[in-house]
């Protein structure tokens, strides 16, 4: 990964309290896993931003290296990599996601 790409990704992660690197957009997810994450965050009623990796090959490949995580979507809360669809579903079902989001939005 180039230093420029790493800086671009870091800036996106730092500038957004809740960010999803996903296939598609929050209005039109392009894969089921991305859709799962969008539906969870919509249900929780929190503001979040998305980056459509289908529009930027460098981001699509670079984010996998950045997080050392091979799949998309990738969710970041308060600058911290949380995981993908399965982890978000698990955190939501355990009731842990609500607290994480409240802490992030309060900071």
pLDDT tens digits for range 88-98:
999 999 999 99
pTM equals 0.94
pLDDT of residue 74: 97
CATH code, domain with 65: 3.40.30.10
Looking at the predicted structure, is the pLDDT value of residue 58 above 90?
yes
| Alpha carbon distance 3, 42 (integer Å) | 34
Cis, peptide link before residue 9, omega less than 30° from 0: no
DSSP symbol at 77: E
Residue 19 above 90 pLDDT?
yes
Average pLDDT of the chain to the nearest whole number: 95
- Determine the Cα–Cα distance for residues 70 and 53; give it in Å rounded to an integer: 13
The domain tally of the chain equals 1
What is the model's pLDDT at position 107? Answer: 81
Task: Give the mean model confidence (pLDDT) for residues 44-57.
Answer: 96
State yes or no: pLDDT of 9 exceeds 90. Answer: yes
Is pLDDT above 90 for 13?
yes
Please give the DSSP secondary-structure letter assigned to residue 64: H
3-class SS shares of the chain: helix, strand, coil, % to 5: 55, 20, 25
Query: Domain of 30?
Result: 3-106
Task: Check residue 64 and give its pLDDT.
Answer: 95
Please state, for a pLDDT cut of 90, what percent of the chain lies above it: 96
């Amino acid at each position: 990964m180039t230093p420029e790409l790493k800086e671009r990704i870091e800036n996106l992660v730092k500038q957004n309290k809740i960010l999803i690197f996903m296939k598609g957009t929050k209005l039109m997810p392009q894969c089921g896993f991305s859709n799962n994450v969008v539906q969870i965050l919509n249900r929780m009623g929190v503001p979040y931003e998305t980056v459509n990796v289908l529009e930027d090959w460098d981001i699509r490949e670079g984010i996998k290296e950045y997080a050392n995580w091979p799949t998309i979507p990738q969710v970041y809360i308060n600058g911290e990599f949380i995981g993908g669809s399965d982890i978000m579903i698990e955190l939501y079902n355990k009731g842990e996601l609500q607290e994480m989001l409240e802490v992030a939005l309060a900071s």
